[in-house]
């Protein structure tokens, strides 16, 4: 599986957020027309060399943040509320769609929003993410992405007759 239009976004500098596992995370942004240049952020199995037939998209954690520049090499971002829509595709057809909300707080740290996908996301080939309702958003960050893949199984060579000893 491959991420498109999303990058590694592991960082410690998000004010107002309690990380889940603080492991590897992926992020995308609408800032500076990022999505217009790179396309919509997605997870796909459709790329040269892929041996995956489909995947079941199960769950992920997420938050949205905006930044105030990079003073003294100490980038700081603040959480902001947002909605995220996830759409699943098979053979270019929309087969599943679900939306989730992240609620930020100005007064306390909040945990990442948990998104659990419905059974309609079983057997998809592509999942596209879209963040909305956050006018000052800089980034959406996804973590703890869980899925199951189904790979192509090549035909095994014909069984060779054995010899008795």
Read off the pLDDT of residues 32-89 as tens digits, 9 standing for 90 and up: 445 555 568 889 999 899 999 999 999 999 988 876 544 444 456 778 889 999 999 9
The predicted model scores a pTM of: 0.76
Quickly count: other Cβ atoms within 10 Å of residue 106's Cβ. 7
- What would you measure as the largest C-alpha separation in the chain, in angstroms? 79
One CATH from 2.60.120, 2.70.98, 2.30.29, 2.40.50 for 2-151: 2.60.120
Q: Check if the beta carbon of residue 80 is closer than 8 Å to that of residue 134.
A: yes
Rounded CA separation 122/34 (Å): 29
pLDDT (average), residues 141-153:
89
Domain ranges, ordered by start, for the chain: 2-151
Q: Give the mean pLDDT of the chain.
A: 76
Residue 165, pLDDT > 70, answer no
């Amino acid at each position: 599986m491959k991420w498109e239009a999303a990058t590694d976004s592991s960082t410690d500098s998000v004010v107002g957020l309690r990380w889940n596992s603080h492991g590897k995370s992926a992020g995308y942004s609408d800032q500076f027309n990022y999505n217009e240049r790179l396309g919509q952020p997605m997870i796909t199995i459709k790329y040269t060399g892929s041996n995956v037939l489909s995947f079941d998209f199960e769950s992920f954690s997420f938050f949205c943040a905006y930044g105030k520049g990079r003073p003294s090499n100490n980038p700081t971002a603040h959480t902001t509320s947002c909605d995220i829509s996830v759409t699943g595709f098979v053979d270019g057809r929309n087969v599943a769609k679900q939306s989730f909300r992240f609620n930020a707080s100005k007064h306390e740290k909040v945990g990442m929003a948990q998104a659990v996908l419905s059974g309609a996301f079983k057997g998809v080939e592509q999942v596209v993410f879209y963040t909305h309702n956050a006018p000052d958003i800089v980034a959406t960050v996804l973590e703890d992405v869980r899925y199951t893949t189904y790979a192509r199984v090549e035909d095994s060579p014909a069984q060779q007759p054995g010899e008795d000893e």
